[in-house]
Amino acid sequence: MDQESVLDTVPGETKPPNVAVLALGRNMEEGHEPNRSQLAHAHDLAARARNFSYTRADLRDLFLGEGPSYESLMVAHAEGIQATSASLLTLLFQRFQHIQDANIEEHIRTAVSYSFFGLGHGMDEQVEAASLLFLSIWILDDCVMDSGEPVDRAELTAFTKEVKRLWNKHLVSPSYQHKIESSTIYDIVLFLLDRHLTLLKQLDIAPHFLAHHRTAFEFYLDSLTIELAFRALSRHPYDAYKAIRLRSSGMKFSMTLMVLLKSIAGDLLPTFSDPKLNRAIERSALYASLFNDIVSYPRESTEDVVNSVRILMDAHDNDI
C-alpha cells in the first residue's frame, strides 16, 4: 500500500485514531517511505511547534483529521521526528472558537486521542499532563461561552498565559527523551484545579461545569491514573504519598470525580438543584472515606484496591 492510500484512510468518522496511527507506522516499517515533500512539511511543522507558531490552517487540519498539516503529523509520528509531541500539544495554547463546526467536540476528542496513542516515544508523562491541560482550557472556555454571563476576559487571558508559562517552564524540553518528575505534573494539576474553581465560582457557573461536563471528564481523563488524580485532589505531600501510590491506568474516572465532588461540596452544595447530583455529592464522602481506608493498608494489593473501588462505583453509577 502506498503512502497516499494510507493517509486516505486516516481517520474517518468510524476509524479510531489510534488504529490509523498504528497503520501508518506499520506502513513505514514495511519500507514505504514518505516522499521528500511530506518529510519537509513534517519537519517544518515540528519546528514551528517549538515556537508555538501554528497557523489557523494547521489547527483546522489537526482538528478535522485531514489536510496537509494533519498528513505531515502522521508522517512525523511514523518517522519519530523530534518535537512531534510538542507540535500536537501546542493546541493547548491556541483558541479554537474560530472553527465553526457542529462536531467541534468530536474533533477535539480526536486530537486528544492522538496525544495518547501517537505521541508516546518515552514521553508518556508529558502527554498525560498536556492532555489534562488541554481539557482544562477547553472546558473553561466552553463553560464561559455557554454560561451567557458577563466574562472578565482579562482574567481568562491571564489564566491561559499562566498555564502556558508553566508548560514552557516545566514540560517543554529540548531533549526528546526528557522525563518529567511526577511531582511537577501534580503541582500543575493542583494549580489548575484551584484556578478553575476560583474562576468558575466567580462566574457562577460551577454547577454547569460539573453537571454538563461529566461525560467529557470521564472520556478525557479515563487514562489518568488514580495516583495522579487522588494525589492532586487530596493534596498529600508527594514524599508521604509514595507509600500508597496506585498505578491503575485502567481505572474509570468516576471514582476521581467523586473525590473531586467531595472536595468542593462544602463550597458548592447549596448551589446545586439537581437532586441526583446532590445525592452523589453526599455519598461521595462515604466513598472517599472508604477509599482512604482501603489504601491505608499496605497488605492490600493495587488490584484489590481497584476491584473494591470498582464495586463501589458500579453499585452507585445509577445515582448520577
pLDDT digits (tens, 9 = 90+) for 85-110: 434 443 433 333 333 333 444 444 44
- Neighbouring residues of 113: CB distance < 8 A, sequence distance ≥ 6: 16, 17, 18
Query: Can you tell me whether residue 227 is helix, strand or coil?
Result: helix
Identify the CA nearest to 226 among candidates 202, 264, 257.
257
Instruction: Give the residue, 97 or 138, on which the prediction is more confident.
Output: 138
Task: Look at residue 17 in the predicted model and tell me its pLDDT.
Answer: 32
Is residue 93 included in any domain, yes or no? Answer: yes
Cα(38)–Cα(51) distance, integer angstroms: 21
Gap between the Cα atoms of 68 and 50, Å rounded: 19
| Structural domain includes residue 222 | no
Note the pLDDT of residue 307. Answer: 52
Across residues 21-34, what is the average pLDDT?
A: 47
Domain count, the chain: 1
* Cα 212 from Cα 200, distance rounded (Å): 13
Residue pair 38/72 in contact by the 8 Å Cβ criterion: yes
CA 74 from centre of chain: 20
The distance between the two most distant Cα atoms of the chain, rounded to a whole number of Å, is 62
The H or E element that residue 71 is part of is helix 68-79
Instruction: Supply the pLDDT for residue 41.
Output: 78
Tell me how far apart the terminal alpha carbons of the chain are, to the nearest angstrom. Answer: 48
* Per-residue pLDDT at 35: 72
Asked if the structure places residue 79 within a domain, the reply is yes
Residue 219 lies in a domain: no
Query: If you average pLDDT over residues 282-303, what whole number do you get?
Result: 44
Band of the pLDDT at 49, cuts 50, 70, 90? low
Residue 28 lies in a domain: yes
Tell me whether residue 57 is in a domain.
Answer: yes
Alpha carbons 242 and 236: distance in angstroms, whole number? 10
145 domain-assigned: no
26 in a domain, yes or no?
yes
- Over residues 259-277, the pLDDT tens digits come to 443 443 333 333 444 454 4
What pTM does this model have? 0.28
* C-alpha–C-alpha distance, residues 287 and 62, integer Å: 40
Q: Domain of 86? A: 1-121
Whole-number pLDDT of residue 55: 58
